[in-house]
Amino acid sequence: MRPGPQTPSLSWSVVVPLVAIGALALSWGRELSPLLVGLDAIVLAGAVLAAVQHAEVVAHRVGEPFGSLVLAVAVTVIEVGLIVTLMVSGGPESTSLARDTVFAAAMITMNGIVGLSLFLGAVRYKLILFNAEGSGAAMATVATLATLSLVLPTFTTSRPGPEFSPAQLAFAAIASLALYVAFVLTQTVRHRDFFLPVCPDGSPDDVEHADPPSTPAAMTSLGLLVVALVAVVGLAKVESPAIEAGVAAVGFPPSFVGVVIALLVLLPETLAAVRAALRQRIQVSLNLAYGSAIASIGLTIPTIALATVWLPGPLILGLGPTQMVLLALSVAVSILTVVPGRATRLQGSLHLVLLAAFLFLAVKP
């Protein structure tokens, strides 16, 4: 067996969270020069990578599919923290930030992470196999959550805009949380075998090919994961004016801030999924992708709904026509991808083209 992911005492993943906390303490509440903004941005990116590195250590200790769940929740905590901090400090444009970020996360996970994993896996292994039962259940959950939280607000009539009334928002939040809990129970308790990697002969693979980290190493990573997440959320608050100013400076619409947030928090998740795909563990890649999408919607919407108690301004959740078309097409293609339980590079290419269309239309709506 090859050695599993460990946490050496002087590794970069130990040093970076501590440096990030120090940078946060020095930057909080101060006017920053462009040089310090750039340095904080580098530290922020390093803290995100360190957070997911430690999440991977904890994940490998608890095993699959619990590992994918740990990664998805860690990434969602970062995402929620970024959204709330930017909405608190933002102006009128921030009223749709939650919608833009959650939709971007859904598109990046369904098309970016899935597409890249399928394409690279198929390039290396030609025909790739995964568990249709688990992937199909996850995709159905994503589609239901996205429709309830992002599509319905456009068509409800209690409020004039694409906005839920307080009662409707409460229902959407409770329904999202209930679906998330139901999915987690299905994934980890009732039908865990649906989410295990599939061997080339088509049978579930419940064998980890690496030695799990020791309990002390896993506990150390858990502590450093908490430190890294605190640093990420705090530095995001510090960097928020620079993010918004940078998007405005290049002439992109304000909604592109949500895309930047989603790209930032999902980059490490993407790297983890690609590594799994290259090891012929496509089911792990799909668990990461769809699990992140489910957590992003199922946890973000309830949190933002609760935050509206003190957040100023309305909360715009409804998608526009172009976004709804992209979402509907992505759901349809995803269903056709996961139902057979196997895929080629063509399926990966379809999803990557949909991601490119999303990014292009986000810049040129």
Q: Is the pLDDT of residue 90 over 80?
A: no
Specify the higher pLDDT residue, 209 or 322.
322
Would the pTM of this model clear 0.85, i.e. be above it? no
Residue 207 confidence (pLDDT) above 60: no
Between CA 273 and CA 250 the distance in angstroms is 31
Let me know: does 356 contact 188? Beta carbons within 8 Å. Answer: no
Task: Report whether pLDDT(270) > 90.
Answer: no
Domain span at residue 273?
2-363
- 118 contact partners, CB below 8 Å, separation of at least 6: 128, 277, 282, 285, 337, 343, 345, 347, 348, 351
**Over 70: is that where the pLDDT of 93 sits?**
no
The domain that contains 198 carries what CATH number? 1.20.1420.30
Question: Which carries the bigger pLDDT value, residue 208 or residue 239?
Answer: 239
Ordered DSSP codes for 279-305: TT-HHHHHHHHHHHHHHHHHHHHHHHH
Q: What total of structural domains would you count in the chain?
A: 1
- What was the pLDDT predicted at 1? 44
Asked if pLDDT for residue 350 goes beyond 90, the answer is: yes
pLDDT tens column, 218-242: 888 888 888 887 887 788 778 777 7
Provide the token pair at 356: 């490119």
Q: Cβ atoms within 10 A of the Cβ of 250, count? A: 8
Query: How far is residue 354's CA from residue 112's CA, in Å, rounded to a whole number?
Result: 8
Model confidence pLDDT, tens digit, residues 95-139: 788 888 889 999 999 999 999 999 999 999 889 989 889 899 999
Between the alpha carbon of residue 295 and those of residues 153, 181, 284, 298, the distances in Å are 20, 10, 16, 5
Residues 6-22 pLDDT 10s: 545 568 888 988 999 99
What pLDDT is attached to residue 2? 45
